[in-house]
Amino acid sequence: MLVSEMFLSIQGEGVHAGRRAVFLRLALCNLRCTYCDTKYAFKGESKRVEDVLRELEPLLQGCNLLVITGGEPLLQQRSLVRVLSALKPTGIEVEVETNGTRPPIPDLQKYVDLWIVSPKLSSSGEAIQRRRNPDTLSLFISLNSIFKFVVSGEGDVVEAIRDFIEPFSIPAERVWLMPCAATKEELEKRCKEVALLALRYGFNYSDRLQLRVGLR
C-alpha cells in the first residue's frame, strides 16, 4: 500500500477533537482541491501491509483511536481491510476521513466506527461532477457518518445546504462547519464567523486544533 506518514498526535477536528489518536495517512487522491493542506500525500512510500502493522504497533500502545486519512484513503480499500482486520480485534476505534466520492466496500464498512465525510464545495476548484457522487453520499448517510464542510463565509454555507445538505437530507446534527485555513492566523481570522454561522444555521462547529496549537 502507498503510505504518506504514520504518527501519534491529537485529533484536531470534528466530533473527537482533543482526543489522542494515531494517524495513518495514505497517499494518492482523486481530487486536486485548491486549498489542500496535504499535497505531499499525493505521493507516498510503498509498504507491505505487514510492515504497516509493525510500525503502527508501538504508536497504538496506550491509544485506542486510529484515524485513517489521506489523500483519499478509499483509493486503497483492499489494503485497508487487511490492516483493520488485524487491528480491530485489539479493541481500537477506527475513523476514516474521506471526500465522499468513493463508496466504501462492505468488507471495509464492518471495521469502521465513524466515517468523517468532507464533501468539497466549488471553492475547491473541482467541477461538481467530480466532487459530488449522489449514490456514494446516500450510502454514507446510511452509515455512522458526520459531514464536515470547509467554509470561508456564509456563501459557502448556503452552497453546502443547496448542493449537499438539502438534496441528500443530511440531518443538521450530523453537519460540522470548519474554517478554511492553512495557518493559525487564518484560523483566528475566520473561526468566530464560522462558529456564529454554525449557530445561526443549526449546525456544529469544528475547530482546527492542529493549527491552533502547532501540532501535525
22: helix, strand or coil: strand
pLDDT of residue 174: 98
What is the CB neighbour count within 10 angstroms for residue 170? Answer: 22
Is residue 6 predicted with pLDDT exceeding 90?
Answer: yes
Helix (H, G, I), strand (E, B) or coil at 178: strand
pLDDT band at 216 (very low <50, low <70, confident <90, very high): confident
Pairing of strands 145-151, 114-117: parallel
* 200: pLDDT strictly greater than 90: yes
- Provide the edge-to-edge strand list for the sheet that holds 20-26: 45-46, 2-10, 20-26, 65-69, 93-98, 114-117, 145-151, 175-179, 204-205
List pLDDT tens digits, range 76-128.
999 999 999 999 999 999 999 999 999 999 999 999 999 999 999 999 999 99
Q: How confident is the model at residue 189 (pLDDT cuts 50, 70, 90)?
A: very high
pLDDT of 68 > 90? The answer is yes
CB 71, CB 26: distance < 8 Å = yes
The pLDDT of residue 30 is above 90: yes
> What are φ and ψ of residue 166, in 5° steps?
-75, -45
CA distance 96 to 137: 15
Query: What's the CATH number for 2-212?
Result: 3.20.20.70
Q: Please report where in the chains the cell 486536486 appears, as a residue.
A: 32
Between CA 213 and CA 216 the distance in angstroms is 9
Q: Which residues contact 59 (CB under 8 A, 6 or more apart)?
A: 6, 7, 8, 22
Q: Where are the domains of the chain?
A: 2-212
In this prediction, residue 188 has a pLDDT band, given cuts at 50, 70 and 90, of very high
Pairing between strand 204-205 and 2-10?
A: unpaired
pLDDT tens profile 146-161: 999 999 999 999 999 9
Nine cell digits for residue 153:
463565509
Collect all residues with Cβ–Cβ distance below 8 Å to 5 and sequence separation of at least 6: 23, 25, 41
Residues 4 and 46: their CA atoms lie apart, in Å, by 9
